[in-house]
Amino acid sequence: MSNLVVAIDGPAGAGKSTVAQLAAKELNCTYIDTGAMYRAVAWKTLQTKKPVTDELIADVVKDIQVELSYIDGKTQVKVDGTDVTGEIRTPEVTAIVSQVAALGPVRVKMVELQRQMASQSNVLMDGRDIATSVLPNANVKIFLTASIEERARRRFKEMQAKGYDVKLEELQKDIAARDKADSERKISPLVQAPDAELLDTSHMNIEEVVSAIVERCKKA
């Protein structure tokens, strides 16, 4: 299992982070949550308390320091030395993260950091463009998805558990809008790589999805 590089892509709410962390643990890989990195940029942008513009985001990302660590089964995220693990999952951050991720200066900075991480050990990395752009030579490529209805239901349960007052119908609209934005952006859009295997998890539980990923990796 030496030099194993696993790339998992998929749309918002597909459960990539949840299953990727568990699969990485079974495979003895370093887990890298690229979505958290873009959320980190979004979080720092919001801290300026200024109207969110492309120019502001590009300015914020110039000198940002994003650190990921995997401790006690959870990914911890620091921005410029501050732990923002919980703060990057708020609805406010979610609302602008697609705008942040679509900008060239942001993607250049984040992809550079992601490739540095991937060069250091066996890795399992998830995001929107890992197999197509960040790690095109990955040993295993999986496109993880589920129906919009199922993704909204999962996000609804997650947000309720965290105490957020959200409506299922609004979440469905938000996810559909993020799908459109991620798929139509000019730079590294969300698409299934030609050599990636499609894994639809609409009718699968977490354990089944993790098992399917691990089995595919063992065949690599």
Q: Output the pTM of the full model.
A: 0.78
Q: What is the pLDDT of residue 1?
A: 41
Structural class in CATH, domain 5-218: alpha beta
Where do the domains of the chain lie?
A: 5-218
The pLDDT, as a whole number, for residue 120 is: 80
76: Cβ contacts below 8 Å, ≥ 6 apart = 68, 69, 70, 83, 85
pLDDT for 150-193, tens place per residue? Answer: 999 999 998 899 899 999 999 999 999 999 998 998 888 999 99
